[in-house]
Amino acid sequence: MESAPKVKLRPAGDPELRSGFLAGMARMTSAVTVVTTDGSAGRFGQTVSAVTSVCADPPVLLACLYRDTPVAQAVRVNGCFAVNLLSPEHLGLAESFAGRTPVPARYRFDDDWRALRTGSPIRHDVPAAFDCQVADVTAVGTHLVVYGQVVAVLSGEQPDLAYRNRGYVLADRSLV
C-alpha cells in the first residue's frame, strides 16, 4: 500500500533544487569507470561515475547512463556491458571516454582492450573490471539504470581513480 508523500514535492526542473543537488553531489567521492559494450548495436564506451554494487549473491551491479547516449542505447540492444574501474594512469582514458579530448581521439579503443565472456571491451591493466549481462533496465528521469549480472571479474592491485569536487583524486588513502 502506497502512502501519501510526507512533504510537498517540488516540480521537475526546479532550478534551486537542481543547483543544490549538483553542489551536494560534487562533494560525494565516486569511482571513475569506463562502461563499455560491444555487439550488434556496435562498440561504445563512456566514462561513468554512477556505478555501485547491488548484491553479491548473485553478483549484480548497476550503472546509470544518460539515456540519449549511444552507449546507453547499445547496452540495451547488445544485452551486455563491462565496468572498467580506472587507475590514475588511466586519466587520459577517462578524459577521452568523457568526450573531453579532441574529436579524433575520443572514444577510441586501442590494442589494450580485450574481452572476457560477453564481448564487452575490458582493460586488463585496471584495478578491477566486471563483465555483465543486462538483467534489467529502468528509466529514471534523464537516465537509464542498467542492472548487470556479473559473469566474470578481473581484479588487480593498482590504486583506483576517484572523482570529487569536479576533479580527479586518488582513492587509495586508508584512514584505519
Band of residue 174 on the pLDDT scale cut at 50, 70, 90: low
Per-residue pLDDT tens digits for 77-110: 999 999 999 999 999 999 999 998 887 778 889 9
Strands 51-56 and 121-123: unpaired
Please, are residues 145 and 133 in contact by the beta-carbon 8 Å criterion? no
Q: Which residues of 96-112 are buried (b: 16+ CB within 10 A; e: fewer)?
A: bbbeeeeeeeebeeeee
Please, are residues 48 and 97 in contact by the beta-carbon 8 Å criterion? no
> How many Å is the maximal CA-CA distance in the chain?
54
The pLDDT of residue 173 = 65
Per-residue pLDDT tens digits for 105-151: 788 899 999 999 999 999 999 999 999 999 999 999 999 999 999 99
What is the Cα gyration radius of the chain?
17
Band of residue 1 on the pLDDT scale cut at 50, 70, 90: low
Across the range 10-21, mean pLDDT stands at: 82
Q: Rounded CA gap, 105 and 95, in Å?
A: 10
Q: Rounded CA gap, 175 and 92, in Å?
A: 28
